[in-house]
Amino acid sequence: MASDVLKTEFCGIPMASPIVLLSGCVGFGEEYTRVEGYSNADVGAVVLKGTTGDARLGNPPHRVYETPDGMLNAIGLQNPGVDAVVDTILPGLDFSETRFFANVSGSTIEEYERVTKRFDDSDIDAIEINISCPNVKEGGVQFGNDPEMSARVVAACRAQTSKPIIAKLSPNQTDIQENARLCIEAGTDGFAVINTLMGMAIDSETRKPIIGNVRGGLSGPAIKPVALLKVQQVYEVAKDHGVPIIGQGGITTAKDAIEFIIAGASAVGVGTALFYDPLVCPKINAGIAEYLVSHQLESIAPLIGSLEL
């Protein structure tokens, strides 16, 4: 159980910790509960795996490749479809332990609308709109790298739900601040900054791509400096509108998390670190709590956006 000093809220949702487990890293919320010593009560929220209108098999192998200080993945949004998630998976989750956010993905605006509407009539606490997935050949990048298209997706989803909407922004674009501005106008309640960077790996012997999809999303400590900058840039746009940010990208320690909060994040996302240390979250919680106490702070609120430029 997280310390009381870590209690916070995101988009009006009370959370026991600022830590959010990122979509695609913990399946549909139950995977890590099988690990001895792990508890969803240690985190503020869990973002479920990307969900589409119909079931998807995902990309051909290889889907994952380890890189220096990170990993490439191109899973391709494999999932059983929104009806199966709402009807079969959500009833098995313990909503008394933590908050659960859906992750909505699609190839068309109509699919985003359909999936969002289905989650609106469920127990899910908030809906993350994945407009920035770099490892599917349709949708994803097309939507996320075009600010006007991003705003259209957000507006379409906004019309389908009264739940908080979190727009997941791509780092693979020219002007993330313009994208953020238009998404705020379209009705987003929060941001997730950032999604993975686009990358690839090559087998020098076969001279072929290692990832079956050719390209994939780069995550892990290697992308942290980029993520920190993007969080600070989006915060400059979002702060006057009261739109909070989940800062994510390479967080593995409490120090990393604190840096993201100082840059403007109201919550911090942990993903790739879970693959090599499933029990990393209690360690990050303890480090954040120790920092707050040593700096005589009663919560993370005074730290948010406290970067001195």
Is residue 113 pLDDT above 90, yes or no?
Answer: yes
| pLDDT of 31 | 86
| pLDDT of 26 | 93
Residue 205 resides in a domain: no
| pLDDT of 38 | 93
CA distance 221 to 10: 24
Q: Are 104 and 128 in contact (CB under 8 A)?
A: yes
CA distance 261 to 18: 9
Q: What tokens does 288 get?
A: 């954040």
Helix (H, G, I), strand (E, B) or coil at 259: helix
Residue 23 resides in a domain: yes
| pLDDT of 51 | 97
| pLDDT of 141 | 53
Q: Amino acid letter at 7?
A: K
| pLDDT of 143 | 67
Residue 70 resides in a domain: no
Q: List, for residues 64-108, the tens digit of each pLDDT value.
A: 999 999 999 999 999 999 999 999 999 999 999 999 999 999 988
Residue 143 resides in a domain: yes
Q: List, for residues 188-201, the tens digit of each pLDDT value.
A: 999 999 999 999 99
| pLDDT of 2 | 74
| pLDDT of 174 | 87
Residue 65 resides in a domain: no
| pLDDT of 30 | 86
Q: List, for residues 141-196, the tens digit of each pLDDT value.
A: 566 788 999 999 999 999 999 999 999 999 988 899 999 999 999 999 999 999 99
Residue 153 resides in a domain: yes
Is residue 135 pLDDT above 90, yes or no?
Answer: no
Name, in order, each residue with C-beta under 8 angstroms of 175's C-beta and a sequence gap of 6 or more.
147
Q: What is the mean pLDDT of the chain?
A: 94
The average pLDDT across 288-299 equals 97
Residue 226 is part of a domain; what is its CATH number?
3.20.20.70
Residue 30 resides in a domain: yes
Active-site residue (options: 133, 157, 183, 281)? 133
| pLDDT of 180 | 98
The average pLDDT across 252-272 equals 98
Q: Are 185 and 34 in contact (CB under 8 A)?
A: no
Q: Are strands 8-10 and 13-15 parallel, antiparallel or unpaired?
A: antiparallel
Domain span at 130: 4-57+76-197+219-303
Q: List, for residues 236-258, the tens digit of each pLDDT value.
A: 999 999 999 999 999 999 999 99
Query: In the annotation, is 157 catalytic?
Result: no
Report the 10 Å Cβ neighbour count for 296.
7
Residue 64 resides in a domain: no
Nearest-10 crossing angle of helices 176-186, 224-238: 50
Q: List, for residues 40-49, the tens digit of each pLDDT value.
A: 999 999 999 9
pTM of structure:
0.96
Q: How many domains does the chain have?
A: 1
- SS3 percent helix, strand, coil of the chain, rounded to 5, is 35, 20, 40
